[in-house]
Amino acid sequence: MVESQPGNAMTGAQAMVRMLEAHGVTQIFGLCGDTTLPLYDALARLDHGISHMLTRDERHAAYMADGYARVTGKPGICEGPSGGGATYILPGVVEANDSSIPVLAITSDVSTTSRGRYPLTELDQPSLFRPLTKWNASLDDSERLPAMVRAAFRAMTTGRPGAAHLAFPFDTQKNPVDPAEIWADPRHRNFPAEPMGADPAAIKAAADALLAARRAVAICGGGPVIAGAQDALRRLARLLDLPIATTVSGQGAVAETDPLAVGVVGSNGGVPSTRAVVDEADLVLFIGCRAGSVTTERWRSPCQGVPVIHIDSEPQVIAANYQTEVAIAADARLALEALVGELESRKTGNAPLHDGAARAQRAWAAKLAAFESLAASPKTPIRPERVIACLQGLLDSDAIVVADPGTPCPYFSAHYRWPRAGRRFITNRAHGALGYALAAAMGAHIGQPRAKTVAVMGDGSFNFCCGEFETILRYRMPITAIVFSNATFGWIKAGQNAGFGKRFYNVDFGRTDHAAVASAFGVKSWRVEDPEELEGVLRAALAHDGPTLVDIVSQPLHEAAAPVSEWVA
């Protein structure tokens, strides 16, 4: 044990380590700084069972915590120093918060006694983080530290999960804390904690509406995946022959090989055949889905006026965009289990069905017909569809793919057919910042080290994150990175192509040899330009026992058949 303050007290830094330990934390991601020295000293000297991963910047520490939380069901923890460290960590915190993922950011700060005296790195951290988090505080009083940490974990994990932030002043880290205050509520070690059940009257009304409909469809956002509602969703679909569509974040709510799975709908990853399933519906069941602009193609699909049942753990989401016939403010799993129970109690042999399997299979058949010829194309630059098809054949069913929001996202969302329910696909859909995939893949690998993890990015994203290849190598993570190299900010260029008369302004840049850059870090790397070499290289990269990168010279988005409705139109 480390020596503590006079009497029986411990320091604030030691108390923080013990509070994290009490909440079941075993992993922290972060970067050192002057104002964090007491915390790092406590981590170095105490026996606590917490691993700390040193990252190359604070933004990626937050993205790692995000990826870790998504695959473990435990809050992700990241930390950084004051000033620039606090500002750098923000993108990952806001992405996690708006994706309903509990990430706790601990940023050290100048001493409370230095405030207003122009110390180096002084910043009003609580004001900075307040609009970007679910809960936020500055630990100005060491005696209140344990209670405030408990409050952060309670806020992150209950209700709609989200991010929290704690500013940790330098003097608080050194001031005394009563060891008797070191305890945690074990319910807040995982999320969602203390889930809220559904109103029985709303469940009965939802059952009535579903049984009266003839062409209902369910659209699942990330809520069912976060809540672990896959089994209840599958049972509901079987009871009613109900087709299940998802948003990009909702992939994993149902295995896409399930006969009732429609796949992704919306403007990113949806295609005309999947859109048709929504447009022909006479009832839409939104489950853990905000019904935002991408999912609904700017609130055109489904059209306004179609009857809606909406399940969400955040009451503010319900009826924000569609007039709602039945509102169920509840955890997705508990609501679906209650709905299944209600339907089973009244189901009869002649109950109306929704012809879901036939509708879902028509949607997949039309999508595959358009995809397969592109997936087999021998043309250069290499078609992104060919990359998807190769990976589909090579990756095991438990593999985790993390995609940046540019070139990779629509292709994986539309065409990679996930064979298992659960969190196998991760992408940052809340704010879509480039450079997310590599760090989130690192967090996901730490959380599920037995699963093969693949990070997929465009070359724009590569330049946001390439410093973390040193981290991957230092920790010997067997992650495979795939770069779609097309020498442009492809999403923006595709938008200029479709909506601005092909006036391409300031979106192109020089082509980097990404394989050479990764090799300089010590990562085993390949560059592929010939489609016939693609499968062999990917197979070798995936089988290697250390970190790898495959740089694929690929077709740019503005020339491609990407499943993004605004470009197709």
Which residue among 161, 189, 217 closes a domain?
189
Give the span between the Cα atoms of 380 and 384, in whole angstroms.
11
Give domain status of residue 367, yes or no: no
Which residue among 163, 189, 215 closes a domain?
189
The CATH number for 236's domain is 3.40.50.1220
| Residues 152 and 244 both lie in one domain | no
The CATH number for 512's domain is 3.40.50.970
Give domain status of residue 521, yes or no: yes
Give domain status of residue 554, yes or no: yes
Record the pTM.
0.96
User: Which neighbouring-strand residues pair with 135?
Assistant: 164
- Quote the domain boundaries for residue 430: 376-568
Give domain status of residue 81, yes or no: yes
Give the span between the Cα atoms of 245 and 260, in whole angstroms.
9
| Residues 408 and 553 both lie in one domain | yes
Q: What is the largest CA-CA distance in the chain?
A: 77
Cβ proximity of 200 and 66 under 8 Å: no
| Residues 335 and 474 both lie in one domain | no
Cβ proximity of 75 and 157 under 8 Å: yes
| Residues 214 and 245 both lie in one domain | yes
- How would you write the pLDDT of the chain (569 residues) with one tens digit per residue? 333 444 578 999 999 999 999 999 999 999 999 999 999 999 999 999 999 999 999 999 999 999 999 999 999 999 999 999 999 999 999 999 999 999 999 999 999 999 999 999 999 999 999 999 999 999 999 999 999 999 999 999 999 999 999 999 999 999 999 999 999 999 999 999 999 999 999 999 999 999 999 999 999 999 999 999 999 999 999 999 999 999 999 999 999 999 999 999 999 999 999 999 999 999 999 999 999 999 999 999 999 999 999 999 999 999 999 999 999 999 999 999 999 999 999 865 555 578 899 999 999 999 999 999 999 999 999 999 999 999 999 999 999 999 999 899 999 999 999 999 999 999 999 999 999 999 999 999 999 999 999 999 999 999 999 999 999 999 999 999 999 999 999 999 999 999 999 999 999 999 999 999 999 999 999 999 999 999 999 999 999 999 999 999 999 999 999 999 988 75
Cβ within 8 Å of residue 367, ≥6 positions away:
263, 271, 273, 274, 414, 415
- For residue 225, how many other CB atoms are within 10 A of its CB? 27
Cβ within 8 Å of residue 446, ≥6 positions away:
27, 53, 64, 68
Give domain status of residue 503, yes or no: yes
Cβ within 8 Å of residue 280, ≥6 positions away:
215, 359
Give domain status of residue 370, yes or no: no
| Residues 179 and 294 both lie in one domain | no
Question: Residue 4's pLDDT is what?
Answer: 42
| Residues 384 and 436 both lie in one domain | yes
| Residues 19 and 55 both lie in one domain | yes
Which residue among 147, 163, 189 closes a domain?
189
Question: Residue 352's pLDDT is what?
Answer: 58
φ, ψ of residue 470 in degrees (nearest 5)? -65, -40
Question: Residue 348's pLDDT is what?
Answer: 59
Cβ proximity of 279 and 361 under 8 Å: no
Q: What is the dihedral of CA 535, 451, 76, 311, to 10 degrees?
A: 90
| Residues 132 and 214 both lie in one domain | no
Number of domains in the chain: 3
Give domain status of residue 427, yes or no: yes
Cβ within 8 Å of residue 375, ≥6 positions away:
383, 385, 386, 388, 389, 415
| Residues 248 and 333 both lie in one domain | yes
Give the span between the Cα atoms of 279 and 275, in whole angstroms.
6
Residue with tokens 């292709």: 411
| Residues 387 and 472 both lie in one domain | yes
| Residues 54 and 172 both lie in one domain | yes
The two beta strands, 480-485 and 425-427, are unpaired
Give the span between the Cα atoms of 313 and 98, in whole angstroms.
14
Give domain status of residue 76, yes or no: yes
| Residues 398 and 473 both lie in one domain | yes
Cβ within 8 Å of residue 358, ≥6 positions away:
none
